[in-house]
Amino acid sequence: MAILHHFAAFTLVAALAVEVALFKPPLSPVQARRLLRTDFIFGAAATVVLVVGMLRVAFFEKGREYYWHDLYFLIKFGAFIAAALISIYPTLTFLSWSRGLKAGVAPGVPEARTRRVRLCLMLELTAIVVILACAALMARGFGYSAPGRAP
């Protein structure tokens, strides 16, 4: 389970990096299609990370009692959920191009929308940095507070 979780997480990071690199309006139809495909990969990888991660918490590793009492796990989980919610705006933006792309029309992206999508992508990257820092702290045993004990 751990290898699948890590593979999906690295795929997620790679897809996000590709989105950041590709999202440079004005976009050609080819670039826009690549962004749509990359965003699909990003979403699929995020889904696998979440499902496998929750399976690991519930049924494998140290068990849910351990993880739900680990401050850095809770921060990591919160950062993941925040990134997932933030990613909705870029995804909806990319999906809005579908009809035009089928007709071979390049998407026109207004400057204000470009700034908002770019901000969302940067916030997602920031969340990944938080997730990685928390994962490293968790691996060293920091953040755990046994039930019934003050932190």
- Residue by residue, DSSP assigns 40-71 as HHHHHHHHHHHHHHHHHHHHSTT-HHHHTTBH
Q: Where are the domains of the chain?
A: 2-139
User: Tens of pLDDT along 83-129?
Assistant: 999 999 999 999 999 999 999 999 999 999 999 999 999 999 999 99
Helices (H), ranges, the chain: 2-22, 29-59, 64-67, 71-86, 88-95, 98-102, 111-139
Q: Are 144 and 70 in contact (CB under 8 A)?
A: yes
* Rounded Cα distance, 73 and 144, in Å: 9
* Rounded Cα distance, 128 and 9, in Å: 10
CA 33 to chain CA centroid, Å, is 20
User: Tens of pLDDT along 15-69?
Assistant: 999 999 999 999 999 999 999 999 999 999 999 999 999 999 899 878 888 888 8
pTM of the entire predicted model: 0.90
